[in-house]
Amino acid sequence: MIRVVLGLCKSSGLLEICGLCWLPGGGVMLRATVGSVEERDEEQEDEGEEELRDGGVPFYINRGGFPVDEETWERMWRHVARIHPNGEDLGKEIRGATDLPKIPIPSVPTYQPTTTIPQRLEAIQKYIRELQYNHTGTQFFEIKKSRPLTALMDIAKEMTREALPIKCLEAVILGIYLTNNIPGVERFPLSFKSQFSGNHFYHIVLGVHSGGRFGALGMSRREDLMFKPLDFRTLMDLVQEFDGAYRGYRHTLRKVKIGQYVSHDPHSVEQIEWKHSILDVDKLTKEELRKELDRHTRDMRLKIGKPVPPSPTKDRRNSMGSPHRGPSSPIRRLSRVERRPSGEKKVLEPKSSADLNGYQIRV
């Protein structure tokens, strides 16, 4: 039932307002926080929940797994009514419809031995795109960045089973899962913090490196803020490509965070290193940014030769299971020793009134 209703939501335009997001006068924040906007942003980033508030617009996360419980389901529709100008009427129309069409379920890509790496990456991106972007205001898969890789891969398997719309962080986890068995392709998280009309926006893609070229996999409302083919000679070239896309939407790129290469072992108990380098783009000259990105590239190459912790035994793997279907996976905090922030602590910029009559350009 969920898949059919959501498919109709997207085909009828529910929650997608030509790339613009209506900012309601009220709304329920997910948690109470104390301090400045900047402090809340930093807390959100440190907790690995960068999408709980997207440009000041809150959204919910399905923390109960599948099938979706009644409370989460009803809360999603109430949220739809709040964040869409005609959400209440559209919700009633969709939920009361008796002729809902069946939505095709995308097939996980398979390859021939002769399929090239660029062709495989394009097939993976096509699959991610076919799942479609989640505009409901409720994220269906709970992603905790502190979980070990094996637990995140269990969630990725669940994404392929449920075939529901996803957001950018879910797409990164799914991209790691789908590229685990492609030798010669290294993967790393690449996240962005941009600013528009006084609000901050967060986005993340999966950077890929193969054959001396960089590219990216991901999901976004915007076509030029997700997939990038293996056409970029340096990490600087890739970051500049995203920077240009942001400028096209009148967003100013403030910060770039780059992680380390992710293990190809789906049973690894390692945590993903999400923020090995933290670069304040607006405080660095172009040459300084290039040097930092070149240094990060060297750091990633050095990690390839380092031994990784052994995977858990078969019995332990079975006991860990999916975080949605069994006990919670063990949680370790990331060491921040190797993180390399650039520049001084950012000074809080005054928040200006919303442009475009209360609308925000979201990316």
Q: Which residues are catalytic?
A: 168, 203, 220
Rounded Cα gap, residues 161 and 146, in angstroms: 23
Centroid of chain to Cα 247 = 20
The Cα diameter of the chain in Å comes to: 60
Q: Is 149 exposed, middle or buried (0-12, 13-18, 19+ CB in 10 A)?
A: buried
Instruction: Classify strands 277-280 and 340-341 as parallel, antiparallel or unpaired.
Output: parallel
Is residue 205 within 8 A of residue 218, CB to CB? The reply is yes
Is residue 352 within 8 A of residue 198, CB to CB? The reply is yes
Rounded Cα gap, residues 245 and 248, in angstroms: 5
Q: Which residues contact 192 (CB under 8 A, 6 or more apart)?
A: 202, 203, 204, 242, 246, 253, 255, 256, 257
199: phi then psi, degrees, rounded to nearest 5: -105, 150
Beta-bridge partner residues of 210: 213
B/e letters for 97-132, b = 16+ CB within 10 Å, e = fewer, are eeeeeebeeeeebeeeeeeebeebbbbbbebbbebb
Is residue 124 within 8 A of residue 226, CB to CB? The reply is no
Instruction: Please count the helices (runs of H) and the strands (runs of E) in the chain.
Output: 10, 13
Distances (CA, A) of 269 to 137, 266, 272, 284: 31, 9, 10, 35
Other C-beta atoms closer than 10 Å to the C-beta of 27 total 13
